[in-house]
A = this chain, B = another copy of it.
Amino acid sequence: MDSQYVIGIDVGGQTTKMGVVDARGTVLAQTVIRTDTHSEVEEYVKELAAALKKIIAEAGVEGNIRGIGVGAPNGNYYTGNIENAVNLVWGGSRTIPFASLLKESMNGMPVALTNDANAAAVGEMTYGAARGMKNFIMITLGTGVGSGIVINGEVVYGHDGFAGELGHVCAVRNNGRACNCGKTGCLETYASATGVARTAREWLEMSDEPSLLRNLENITSKDVYEAAKDGDTLALKIFDYTGKILGRSFADFIAFSAPEAIVLFGGLARAKEFLLAPMEEAMNANVLPLWRGKVKLVFSQLKESDAAILGASALAWEL
């Protein structure tokens, strides 16, 4: 009989979440370790493997695991390497053979690795809002903007394994904001959680408009969300602007791959009530007439606490 369970691991800059998952997307056992306690990846992988063995035992599924799926920043599906991941203490400007290190520590268990947004796309296709869809674009709105593109039921990895960096298409051509990547005007400098906070700070500076946000230090996107819920006009305008920037970028994405839907996920996607209308309006105003009103904007259906694990685990079904 085929093995019935998979492991999903979500490697973040601070913490690494992992879980044992069944074919229906139920997380049977899960745990978390720090990502940033060891500066050497070997030490980190040793701790990770120990944690995995513990939850496999806890779920009572020893010997019945098909494989391990890993979502990690700068993860390359083709090579199984993590390349130049500056957000990981053991990453830096190096190439780390992560999949093979983990496989070795797990007695040869097969390991598939990709970046977090691609993992989210596979998760959504396997267990979530994109079930049954063959062509969609996953957009993750977190600290940055990530993307996973699915065409004909398969994630697009491109020539080198790094396709789908839609957070770095140009959203604002002239005088655009500086991005961590070294360019200016990238979509994620406007449409991520960080981007929303930047807009708030910029607009508070530029006008005297009264706003609940004026009293705050170190404004976050969550503050803007709370203020919008309280009816704060400036906060509402910030979401309107953010949605518009996203929607018009989506129009260009549609011209590329003609997806059935764009699926949104991540912390900022929680502001759906404020983002959806301007996003949809800008998307339809900027897309070719043949797609007007035809491409769905849907939000992730995965339980947020499980989503990262589920996404990564879904990769392992394809092993």
Q: Spell out A's residues near B (CB within 8 Å).
A: 84, 134-135, 149, 151-152, 154, 156-166, 168-170, 172-173, 181-183, 248, 251-253, 255-260, 286, 288-291, 294
Contact = CB atoms under 8 A, between A and B. Distances in A.
A169 B258 contact: no
Contact of A289 (B164, B172, B182, B260): B182
Contact of A149 (B168, B252, B256): B256
B259 A256 contact: no
Q: Closest 8 CB pairs between A and B?
A: A158-B258, A163-B258, A159-B260, A135-B159, A169-B252, A165-B255, A168-B288, A163-B257
In the assembly, how many copies of this chain are there? 2
A294 B159 CA distance: 11
Given A256-B253, A260-B159, A288 B135 contact: no
Given A134-B159, A160-B258, 9 more contacts: A149-B256, A156-B256, A157-B258, A159-B260, A164-B257, A170-B251, A181-B288, A181-B289, A183-B288
7 contacts: A157-B258, A162-B258, A165-B258, A170-B252, A172-B173, A181-B289, A256-B257
A158 B170 contact: no
Max chain B C-beta neighbours (<10 A), residue from A149, A248, A252: A252
B170 A248 contact: yes
A183 B286 contact: yes
Contacts of A164: 255-258
A294 B104 CA distance: 32
B259 A159 contact: yes
Contacts of A183: 286, 288
A158 B136 CA distance: 9
A171 B181 CA distance: 21
Nearest to A136: B159
Contacts of A290: 84, 162
Nearest to A173: B173
B257 A158 contact: yes
A158 B151 contact: yes
B258 A170 contact: no
